[in-house]
Amino acid sequence: MQRGIVLTDPIYDRMITELYTGNYARGSSLPTLEELCSLYHVGRNTMRMVLSRLAENGYIRSSRGRAAEVVFDLQNPGHRAQYLRDLLLRREAILDVFDTLALLLPSVLGPCLHVCPEEELSVLSRRAAGFLAEPAENELFSFSDMLIQLYGEFFSSLGNPYIADLFTSLMQYTKCFSMAAYSYGMQYDELRAASQGLLRQLLDFASRRDAAGFCRVVTQYLRAMRRYAEGFFARISAGVPVPEASSAFFWAMDPRQEYLYAQVITGVLRGIHTGRYLPGSLLPSYASLAQLYGVSGKTAEKAIGILNGYHIVKTQNGVGTRVAACTIRSAERSIKNPALQKNLYICLMGLQMAGIFSKTAAPHALFYLTSEQIRKLRAEMDSHPRFAIEPLLDIFFECIPSKTLHAIYDQLKNSMAWGVCLEPYFVREKDRLSQTKKAAQKLLADLELPAADPDVIRRDIDALYRPLFEFARDTLARHIPEAAGLRLP
């Protein structure tokens, strides 16, 4: 049951979003089963379930021996009704995505604007001028594509492709109501004019390297779009039974691992990092891990086999799987494995993203944090068998009532779990470890103040997080040269 909830629903949502936005056009053939499995990073059985559901709901037509054909047509009254019903199922998620974009996007765009090369800005200006000179029929829809391209050029300066992938996924998710919004025409001309004006302002601020003005306009636009979407949903739901909203945004950061066994791997790595599984201790059995993560015993065994290959655990027949002692020597041996290097590089990019986002999320979390939560956080940090920054990040991201933000942070945590392989290097740096603990204590003390200052919290986060990230980056750069190019703005 858990497998269907975890995988089938979000993959189904992503595929019908592709249908709504025209990426899979009516009359075209879907990619092959193998190509879809690779594209959405799931197994054949999961994808078959998704395709069966799409066919059952009238989006595609399947026939044995041939690729599925897209039959969804927004002009068909039945398909249109299904589309509107699906939008209502997504209404809370779409509004939440707009809120998340307004929270996180400026934290990335502002620093990127300062380092974007002049020639790239010139290319963007010409592209935008062409868009304004020849507006598309559904300009709101095309404008969203234009913004995705614009932001993507800025993100490239950080050297992290997952940043662009995340924000593209967020913006694509909100596009699924654009076609119907255009058809209904609700305040469309007014919004179209505002979008054109926004693009001109963005280009003006970008040409002057005015990051504050650029981010202010982006935030205003996202909030206006949220209000527009909220009004749109109210209009299409008037006088009809409204289904309970059930869809949620889903993003998978690592495209190389099947989702199910990756969950087991990262769960075990987190357990090692937090001290739940100490060196020499036995891990739960395959059956227990399978039950814990809602996977098959074979999937759990495969996950543990991968960790064996990286010398993180050691399985012995008749005994079980023990956590291996992690030393500098064992870490140096493991890190030579090309597959582990890829995981550690993704870990570093996850650390970078968490560091950027936390400087926005932490001050915002002050609106929701209670003194009791802060007290429990201090107690957890003080009693932790090993120093870990994760409890701090957990409370900042998870106290904000946003399912979208939680889904993003969960993926970042999965990637950062591989950082357990770098712990021997960090523990050896006793002065650095002591300074990090002091920075964490200062952050906790500032959080406990009756009126915590958001700017102080932002500086505390930077003072705590930046040295950790730079140490991880410099350590990995000795083995993975491209890691040296990642930075925190």
Residues whose CB falls within 8 Å of the CB of residue 285, separated by 6 or more in sequence, listed in order: 320
Whether 180 has a pLDDT exceeding 70, the answer reads: no
Q: Please give the pLDDT value at position 275.
A: 81
Residue 184 tokens, joined: 């209904």
- More confident call, 189 vs 393: 393
Q: What pLDDT is recorded for position 269?
A: 92
Residue with tokens 């003072």: 463
Q: Could you give the 3-state DSSP secondary structure of residue 153?
A: helix
- Residue 225 in contact with residue 174, Cβ under 8 Å? yes
Residue 463's pLDDT is what? 94
Contacts 24+ apart (CB under 8 A), 63-71: 66/29, 67/29, 67/30, 67/31, 67/32, 68/29, 68/30, 69/27, 69/28, 69/29, 69/30, 70/19, 70/24, 70/25, 70/26, 70/27, 70/28, 70/29, 70/30, 71/26, 71/27
Class of domain 259-325: mainly alpha
Please give the CATH number for the structural domain made up of 2-70: 1.10.10.10
pTM: 0.88
CA distance 57 to 159: 41
Per-residue pLDDT at 1 exceeds 50: no
Judge if 2-70 and 259-325 fold alike in CATH terms. yes
pLDDT at 328 over 90: no
Instruction: Please report which helix (H) or strand (E) contains residue 488, including its range.
Output: none
CA distance 314 to 283: 10
Percent of the chain residues topping a pLDDT of 70: 90
Q: Among the listed ranges 47-56, 101-110, 137-146, 386-395, which one has the minimum average pLDDT value? A: 137-146
Angle ∠(287,33,11) on CA atoms, nearest 5:
65
Question: Are the C-beta atoms of 378 and 303 separated by less than 8 Å?
Answer: no
Burial of residue 183, with CB atoms counted within 10 A of its CB: 0-12 exposed, 13-18 middle, 19 or more buried = middle
Kindly report which listed range (233-247, 264-278, 469-483) carries the lowest average pLDDT score.
233-247
Q: How far apart are alpha carbons 440 and 460 in whole angstroms?
A: 8
Mean pLDDT, to the nearest integer, of 85-113?
90
At 69 the pLDDT is 93
pLDDT, residue 401, reads 95
Is the pLDDT at 179 greater than 80? The verdict is: no
* Fold observed for domain 77-237: Four Helix Bundle (Hemerythrin (Met), subunit A) (1.20.120)
Domain boundaries, the chain: 2-70, 77-237, 259-325, 334-485
Residue 455: the pLDDT is: 94
For 4-48, write each residue's pLDDT tens digit.
Answer: 345 687 788 888 888 887 778 889 999 999 899 888 877 788 899
For 105, other C-beta atoms within 10 Å of its C-beta total 20
Lowest mean pLDDT among 148-152, 257-261, 378-382, 445-449: 257-261
The pLDDT of 83-94, averaged and rounded, is 86
The kind and range of the H/E element at 445 are helix 430-447
- State the residue for tokens 């969804």: 72
pLDDT > 90? residue 390: no
Whether the pLDDT of residue 259 is over 70: the answer is: no
Write down the pLDDT at residue 457. Answer: 95
- Expressed in angstroms, the distance from the first to the final Cα of the chain is 42
Length of the chain: 489
Angle (CA) 305-307-309 rounded to 5° is: 70
> Residue 378: CB partners within 8 Å, gap ≥ 6?
444, 448
Least confident of 87-101, 135-149, 336-350: 135-149
